[in-house]
Amino acid sequence: MSETTLVNPADETVIGTVAHTSLEEVDAAVERAVRAQRDWAALAPADRGRALRRFAAAVDAHVDELALLEVRNSGHPIGQARWEAGHVRDVLEYYSGAPERLIGQQIPVAGGIDVTFHEPLGVIGVIVPWNFPMTIASWGFAPALAAGNAVLLKPADWTPLTAIRLGELALESGLPDGLFQVLPGRGSVVGERFVTHEKVRKIVFTGSTEVGKRVMAGCSAQVKPVTLELGGKSANIVFADADLEAAAAGAPGSVFDNAGQDCCARSRLLVERSVLDRFLELLEPAVRAFRVGDPLDESVEMGPLVSREHHVSVSSFLDDGARVAFRGSAPDGPGFWFAPTVLLPERADRVATEEIFGPVVSVLPFDDEADAIALANDSIYGLSGSIWTRDLGRGIRVARAVDSGNLSVNSHSSVRYATPFGGFKQSGLGRELGPDAPLAFTETKNVFFSHA
Ligand code: NAP
User: Is residue 227 within a helix (H) or strand (E), and if so which, with residue range?
Assistant: strand 226-229
- Does the pLDDT at position 320 exceed 80? no
Residue 1 has a pLDDT of 73
Q: Give the C-alpha separation, 34 to 197, whole Å.
A: 12
- Quote the ligand 1 centre to 275 CA distance (angstroms): 38
Buried b (16+ CB within 10 A) or exposed e, 358-393: bbbbbbbbbeebeebbebbeebebbbbbbbbbeeee
Query: Average of pLDDT values for 265-293?
Result: 98
Q: Give the C-alpha separation, 270 to 103, whole Å.
A: 44
pTM of the model: 0.97
Judge if the beta carbon of residue 188 lies within 6 A of ligand 1: yes
Q: What is the pLDDT of residues 111-159, one digit of tens each?
A: 999 999 999 999 999 999 999 999 999 999 999 999 999 999 999 999 9
Q: Give the C-alpha separation, 255 to 261, whole Å.
A: 9
Residues known to be catalytic? 229, 263
- Quote the ligand 1 centre to 128 CA distance (angstroms): 6
Q: What structural domains and CATH numbers belong to the chain?
A: 3-230+427-450 (3.40.605.10), 235-416 (3.40.309.10)
Query: Average of pLDDT values for 183-202?
Result: 98
Amino acid at 326: F
- Does the pLDDT at position 333 exceed 80? yes
Q: What is the pLDDT of residues 403-441, one digit of tens each?
A: 999 999 999 987 999 999 999 999 999 999 999 999 999
Residue 174 has a pLDDT of 98
Distances (CA, A) of 325 to 220, 256, 282, 290, 375: 46, 16, 13, 16, 21
Atom 20 of ligand 1 has which residue's CA nearest to it? 191
Judge if the beta carbon of residue 272 lies within 6 A of ligand 1: no
Atom 6 of ligand 1 has which residue's CA nearest to it? 129
